[in-house]
Amino acid sequence: MPSATITTSRLTPCQEKAMEMLQREGNIFLTGAAGTGKSFLLDQYLQRKPTDEFPIVASTGAAAVIVGGRTFHSFFGLGILEGGIAATVDRALRSRRLVLRLQRACCVIIDEISMLSGTTLLAADRVARRARHCNQPWGGLRIIAVGDFAQLPPVTPGNEQKDWGFLHSVWEESAFQPALLSTVMRTQDIEFLDVLNFIRGGIVNDHVRAFLEDHTGGITEETDAPRLYPHRVKADAFNDRRLAALPEREHAFITKYEGSDRAIEALPKSLPIPEVLRLKVGALVMLRKNDMSFERRYVNGSLGHVRAITEESLHIGLISGESIEVGIEKFSCLDGDGNEVLGAWNFPVTLAWATTIHKAQGATMDRMIVDLAALWEPGQAYVALSRVRSGAGVFVERWSASSIRAEPLVTQLYDSLAEEMKTYVPRPLYQPVSLAPAQEGEKKEKKTGSKVTRAMRSEQIRLLIERQTPFDTIVATCGVKPERVVHYFESLLAEGLAPNLGYLIAEHPEAPIIRSAFEEHGTELLRPVFDALEEKIPYPTLRLVRCVMTAEQHQ
């Protein structure tokens, strides 16, 4: 679509550049720090575009409700990936409706991409290829991935290495062009921005310490700001306690649902409103929808106190000073085809004395109290602190340096994206073309360039070694050939590092005789050892054992 059809007068310079990229060919990774206007830019781009050709999907049900889209899993028919990728793909393709919607689409927008694992992305890519009978990445669909990997990561069972989507082979094949937003719109507090940037990178320096210490303490039970906790139980308990302390009469508004019994049982947890909304005059509440009127008086995350309650409306005094009236509104959960499977009606507010960091993602707050003492995920502290408009709105209950963490691989990713943006070359304008059934047919897979730098892959492998990840798992995680992984081992050793590689061959039955052969013939050349072992041991295995022996010599 030509750029003249899009209004860019309200866009920042980096948003204008990103908009220009969105209108041109190629898959796009629209990213940037919290508050840089990713959602706003996306809304501008999607104006007047049909939803069946430009569907929006989100990583979670809650995110899907907020953006008015569907979940990633339902759109691609993934379920819970039961039985692995192959079984999931076969099961998904039994749905004729799924095949038709994938053929009808021309561009899929994936919101909150950071929370989708590489395995999940790979399964969806394989579904799209087979449904569209096209062996190009995503079956020829254009993908606009939106999100920030410095925020909440994908859920990974146990203590395994995070299955970041950008480290998976499907990300490389997709050849995403980075559209990196750098101007933060949420706050103009320069000092606070500096603190946020350090915390985004997991850096705790004197500047960060001074800020957190200055904002710690002086908090009472009645301090008028929402608390952000890592766990929902603690947030719910605090809200219940504060509501009970108000002297006014309690009003209970039951959320009314419309849909199948199955949807009513399974989907309410995806909604940003509770099944029963309990309110009193004086309660602190958070708006859970943007003001869709021309005035735009509030956004998702705006805070206020309930001033009056009727059966049809709430009168709220916003923290910003404005008074608003809100009525009962509808929230919708959609199926993979974009049809509503659950409608829910209630006032678009929740109690706001406390919420979880996870539920606060995407919200903009005027002030907050945050507990930064026992966080465990990279990005949690950054997500929490970046919700507010200025540093003056931050109240810290307690904090510890160990809670401020960043994933080194993510830091390397954004360093490489910034460099890539400098060399961006405009492509031809994007012309939406859906894949009609008559046009189906196998297409030759297009070769795409790697987006994972050598330094990023090396750091990924180093972390996997630290966790004593089995060799086959390292190969599968990185999506490269075994000999390529061994090459990275050799590079780490050449850089003077001595990782503990012994566990990789601890149970290898041929390791002892390979060691003996190297001890007899030396480790400089492989051919003598290969010949001494009667050419029965492949070179990659010999190289792996040599790496182990070399590392041991330097430990």
Is residue 419 included in any domain, yes or no?
Answer: yes
Residue 474 makes CB contacts below 8 A (sequence gap 6+) with 461, 464, 465, 485
Residues 414, 480 within the same domain: no
Q: Determine the 3-state secondary structure of 374 from DSSP.
A: coil
Say whether pLDDT at 65 is over 70: no
Residues 178, 213 within the same domain: no
Query: Phi-psi region for residue 171, left (φ > 0), alpha (ψ -120 to 50) or beta?
Result: alpha
Per-residue pLDDT, 316: 93
Which of these, 114, 109, 167, 112, lies nearest to 138 by C-alpha position? 109
If one compares 449 and 402, the residue with the highest pLDDT of the two is: 402
Q: What is the pTM of this model?
A: 0.67
Residues 426, 469 within the same domain: no
Strand order in the sheet with 340-346: 256-259, 340-346, 329-334
For 206-253, give the secondary structure using H, E and C: HHHHHHHHHCECCCCCCCCCCEEECCHHHHHHHHHHHHHHCCCCCEEE
Residues 234, 295 within the same domain: yes
Which of these, 24, 303, 521, lies nearest to 545 by C-alpha position? 521
Is residue 18 included in any domain, yes or no?
Answer: yes
Cβ distance 314 to 349 under 8 Å? Answer: yes
Residues 360, 485 within the same domain: no
Cβ distance 397 to 369 under 8 Å? Answer: yes
Residues 174, 40 within the same domain: yes
Confidence of residue 295 (pLDDT cuts 50, 70, 90): low
* Mean pLDDT within 189-197: 87
Is residue 336 included in any domain, yes or no?
Answer: no
Per-residue pLDDT, 251: 95
Residues 163, 246 within the same domain: no
Residues 389, 533 within the same domain: no
How many separate domains does the chain show?
3
* Mean pLDDT within 77-89: 85
Cβ distance 303 to 319 under 8 Å? Answer: yes
Confidence of residue 47 (pLDDT cuts 50, 70, 90): confident
Per mean pLDDT, which of 77-86, 285-294, 305-314, 539-548 is the most reliable? 305-314
The CATH number that applies at residue 472 is 1.10.10.1390
Residues 416, 372 within the same domain: no
Look at strands 394-399 and 368-372 and give their pairing.
parallel
Confidence of residue 76 (pLDDT cuts 50, 70, 90): very high
The CATH number that applies at residue 94 is 3.40.50.300
* Mean pLDDT within 174-203: 87
Is residue 285 included in any domain, yes or no?
Answer: yes
Which of these, 83, 15, 73, 50, lies nearest to 336 by C-alpha position? 73
The pLDDT tens digits for 392-411 are 889 998 899 999 988 888 88
Among 53-57, 78-82, 384-388, 409-413, the range scoring the smallest mean pLDDT is 78-82
Cβ distance 310 to 325 under 8 Å? Answer: no
Per-residue pLDDT, 215: 93
Domain that holds residue 354: 202-251+272-325+350-403
Is residue 338 included in any domain, yes or no?
Answer: no
Is residue 393 included in any domain, yes or no?
Answer: yes
Confidence of residue 283 (pLDDT cuts 50, 70, 90): very high
* Mean pLDDT within 268-286: 86
Among 155-169, 408-422, 473-487, the range scoring the smallest mean pLDDT is 155-169
Residues 425, 368 within the same domain: no
Residues 160, 217 within the same domain: no
Is residue 467 included in any domain, yes or no?
Answer: yes
Is residue 485 included in any domain, yes or no?
Answer: yes
Residues 149, 227 within the same domain: no
Q: Which residue has the tokens 């890592």?
A: 230
